[in-house]
Structure 1
């Protein structure tokens, strides 16, 4: 394994909150959960873009060397046909550079979606086990580019059941 090792954690609404929202189904039949407030941060001249992607599976342990962020709008991933997927997030320093030493990683089931807040550094769509499909919603357009990709020193994501994960 290369670089620091991050054990994938189970989904945790509180731990993820500084980076966005986990999209959970309501517990009661007929109930709704609203996530609309996450959609309001965007450029005035941007427009919503909705697409479905097809993601090839990756295996754990996974060396991560590339991350992304969208400074001006939230990005939403809703699993359509996904077994499990890895989510990694990290804060920025005061200059907007990623802080890999403060990264968090989660092992998500295909029943929970993710909304990344504007400006959050994150791993791109990464499915495990088999190919997967997400519906992705974000905003594009306007005078400012909203895709920022960075190469980072390798971080290794491991399965929580991996013996190297420790206690």
Structure 2
């Protein structure tokens, strides 16, 4: 299966979460409503990551979710990066036939909603640094990874 990346827009990404961007004018924008936590005992987790770029086309066989928590990725020093998502299938696993791949700009972040299937964090172009926020309680439902049929992610000009 092949996914061709599409531009990351708030409208297209809405079924999976929220696109994050800094305000265009002086002031502060709040995203509190996007920061879902379904466990009263979970604690906020803020981490920082440095990722090497992946080569395209990207080949993968894995997706992940965080059943009770949203997960936000905020670029601190980045090029373009991928947000790959899939809705739930009838069996509750990722429905890869309806998966989508979004190409995020360096000035865009995302919050994946709680219980949203997504691909592990992937940057392209160059090494990147991101801040990551989620809620954790240390249990097995903090992170769930599943194997899926092989898929490939390509840029539009390589889709031919």
TM-score normalised by the chain length of structure 1: 0.90
Deviation at 1:143, TM superposition (A): 5.7
Aligned-pair RMSD on alpha carbons?
1.5
Deviations 1:42-85 (A, max 9, x none): 31100001110111210111112111000001000001111111
Residue 25 (structure 2) pairs with residue 5 (structure 1): no
Aligned length: 160
Aligned residue among 78, 81, 98 for 1:85:
81
Deviation at 1:147, TM superposition (A): 0.8
Structure 2: state its 5+ residue gaps. none
Deviation at 1:14, TM superposition (A): 0.9
Q: Per the alignment, in what secondary structure is the counterpart of residue 97 of structure 1?
A: coil
Structure 1: state its 5+ residue gaps. none
Q: Per the alignment, in what secondary structure is the counterpart of residue 151 of structure 2?
A: strand
Q: Displaced runs of 4+ in structure 1, greater than 6 A?
A: none
Correspondences of 1:1-167 after superposition (within 5 Å):
4-28=1-25, 30-141=26-137, 145-162=141-158, 165-166=159-160
Deviation at 1:93, TM superposition (A): 2.3
Residues 143/150 of structure 1: CA separation in 2 closer, same or farther (3 Å cut): closer
